[in-house]
């Protein structure tokens, strides 16, 4: 019976003059075949009969007329589509719902097209370019300024400062001194070459000096203690007839009372309070 195809393999009714379907070399009348083997449609839940086209995707089945975008209902037959949480969408609806927007042009980055990721944002490959030379950045090193991306050579040409000392580009950090940019490692004492970034220093003839070097080369000496007077931090000092004193050293040579803001007398190299000088 299986080879003659004269009777339905299931109900044994004659197939003469009737449509029938074959499955594993067995013939079935259409009603028996549909009841036994027809797949239910994912959309309408009705069986997909043998005289209908059965469209399958990942083990699921649809009538040709039911194979549509879940959002806009356009047919997906022979059209590109995408699946999200088992829901089928045309590429346009999928892009509107789920695709990234280009940071530069704000247009959708279509599924399947190449995109660039940088700092949590996405770009079309054609939009991810140097703002100055307009060349693709791809995976090249880049620098961002005001939300615009630049290749390193263009950024240096347009924006980077050059160190006042070595004339090379300052790519990050740096120190400003007399309105001029310096590398931190180039900003050193003009005397001993110690780095001054973050340290106290004193300017002399447009050059920076550490406190020790300035004191050694330029600071006046206190007439009392003979130590340099640097006036750092706004420290007070007194001056009289080409002599200088630290504020705390400007005392009466006899009774040691402070003479800051007081009348005083001189006797040879000594300074005296009014009482000691009049005695």
Q: Is 14 a member of any domain?
A: no
DSSP characters over 74-88: -B-TTS-EEEETTEE
Residue with the bigger pLDDT between 232 and 236: it is 236
The pLDDT of residue 3 is 41
Segments forming the whole domain that contains residue 77: 38-96
Among residues 75, 96, 117, the one where a domain terminates is 96
Final residue belonging to a domain, choices 111, 130, 159: 159
89 and 50 in a single domain? The answer is yes
Q: Is residue 199 located within the same domain as residue 242?
A: no
Say if 7 falls within a structural domain: no
At residue 17's C-alpha, the angle toward residues 14 and 19, to 5°, is 85
Residue 197 shares a structural domain with residue 228: no
State residue 55's pLDDT score. 92
Residues 134 and 179 placed together within one structural domain of the fold: no
Question: H or E stretch including 151?
Answer: strand 148-151
Residue 120: inside a domain, yes or no? Answer: yes
Question: Is there a domain that residue 33 lies in?
Answer: no
Same domain, residue pair 146 and 185: no
Residue 31 placed within a domain: no
Q: Answer yes or no: are the C-beta atoms of 9 and 1 closer than 8 Å.
A: yes
**Residue 111: predicted pLDDT:** 67
Identify the band that residue 74 occupies on the pLDDT scale cut at 50, 70 and 90. Answer: very high
Rg (CA), the chain: 46
The answer on pLDDT for 76 being more than 90 is yes
The answer to whether 247 and 216 have CB atoms below 8 angstroms apart is no
Higher pLDDT, 4 or 97: 97
Cβ-defined contacts of 269-272 (< 8 Å, 24+): 269/223, 271/240
| CATH number, residue 248 | 2.10.110.10
- What is the pLDDT averaged over residues 253-271? 86
In a domain, 250, yes or no: yes
Residue 24 in any domain: the answer is no
Long-range contacts of 115-123 (CB under 8 A, 24+ apart): 118/142, 118/149, 119/144
Are residues 155 and 111 part of one domain? yes
Q: What is the spatial distance between Cα 170 and Cα 181, in angstroms, rounded to a whole number? A: 8
Instruction: Note the pLDDT of residue 63.
Output: 92
Query: How far is residue 65's CA from residue 63's CA, in Å, rounded to a whole number?
Result: 5
pLDDT in the model for residue 50: 83
Same domain, 211 and 249: no
Is 80 exceeded by the pLDDT of residue 4?
no
Q: Confirm whether 87 is domain-assigned.
A: yes
- pLDDT value, residue 226: 82
Strand, helix or coil at 43? coil
Q: Which residues face 62 on adjacent strands?
A: 55
Interval 10-68: pLDDT, tens:
899 988 888 888 888 888 898 898 889 889 999 999 988 888 888 999 989 999 999 99
User: Rounded to an integer, what distance in angstroms lies between the CA atom of residue 89 and that of residue 181?
Assistant: 57
Give the other-Cβ count within 10 Å of 207's Cβ: 14
Who's near 75: CB < 8 A, 6+ residues apart? 65, 67, 68, 69
At 103-126, the pLDDT tens digits run: 888 887 776 678 888 887 888 888
Question: Is residue 154 located within the same domain as residue 102?
Answer: yes
* Domain count across the chain: 4
Banded pLDDT at 268 (limits 50, 70, 90): confident
Encoded tokens for 207: 């050059």
Query: What percent of the chain is modeled with pLDDT above 90?
Result: 14
Mark residue 54 as left, alpha or beta (left: phi above 0; alpha: psi -120 to 50; beta: remaining).
Answer: beta
Is the pTM above the cut of 0.85?
no
* Residue 179 CB contacts under 8 Å (≥ 6 apart), including other chains: none
CB atoms within 10 A of CB 263: 8
Q: Is residue 236 domain-shared with residue 269, that is, in the same domain?
A: yes
Q: Say if residue 68 is in the same domain as residue 105.
A: no
3-state secondary structure of 266: strand
| Confidence band, pLDDT 50/70/90 cuts, at residue 1 | very low
Same-domain pairing of 87 and 105:
no
pLDDT in tens, 196-226: 888 888 888 888 888 888 877 877 888 888 8
Please say which residue of 96, 113, 131 terminates a domain.
96
Q: Give CA–CA dist 98/91, Å, rounded.
A: 10
Q: How far apart are CA 142 and CA 155, in angstroms?
A: 8
Say yes or no: 237 and 201 in one domain. Answer: no
For 172-193, what is each residue's pLDDT tens digit?
Answer: 778 888 888 989 889 999 889 9
Q: What confidence score (pLDDT) does residue 2 get?
A: 38
């Amino acid at each position: 019976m299986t080879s003659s195809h004269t009777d339905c393999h299931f109900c044994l009714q004659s197939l003469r003059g009737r449509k029938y379907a074959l499955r594993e070399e067995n013939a079935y009348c259409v009603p028996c075949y549909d009841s036994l083997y027809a797949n239910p449609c994912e959309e309408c839940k009705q069986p997909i009969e043998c005289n209908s086209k059965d469209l399958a995707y990942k083990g699921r089945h649809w009538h040709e007329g039911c194979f549509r975008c879940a959002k806009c209902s356009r047919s997906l037959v022979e059209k590109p589509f995408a699946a999200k949480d088992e829901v089928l969408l045309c590429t346009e609806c999928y892009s509107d719902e789920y695709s990234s927007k280009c940071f530069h042009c704000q247009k959708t980055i279509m599924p399947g097209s190449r995109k660039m990721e940088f700092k949590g944002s996405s770009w079309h490959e054609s939009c991810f370019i140097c703002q100055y030379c307009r060349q693709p950045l791809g995976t090249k090193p880049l620098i961002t300024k005001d939300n615009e991306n630049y290749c390193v050579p263009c950024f240096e040409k347009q924006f980077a400062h050059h160190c006042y000392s070595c004339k090379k580009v300052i790519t990050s950090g740096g120190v400003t001194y007399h309105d001029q940019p310096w590398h931190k490692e180039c900003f050193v004492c003009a005397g001993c070459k110690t780095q001054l970034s973050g340290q106290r220093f004193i300017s002399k003839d447009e050059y920076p000096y550490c406190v020790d070097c300035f004191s050694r080369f330029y600071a006046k000496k206190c007439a009392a203690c003979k130590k340099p007077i640097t006036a750092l931090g706004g420290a007070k000092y007194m001056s009289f007839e080409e002599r200088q004193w630290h504020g705390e050293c400007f005392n009466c040579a006899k009774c040691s009372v402070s003479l800051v803001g007081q009348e005083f007398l001189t006797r040879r190299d000594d300074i005296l309070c009014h009482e000691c000088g009049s005695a």
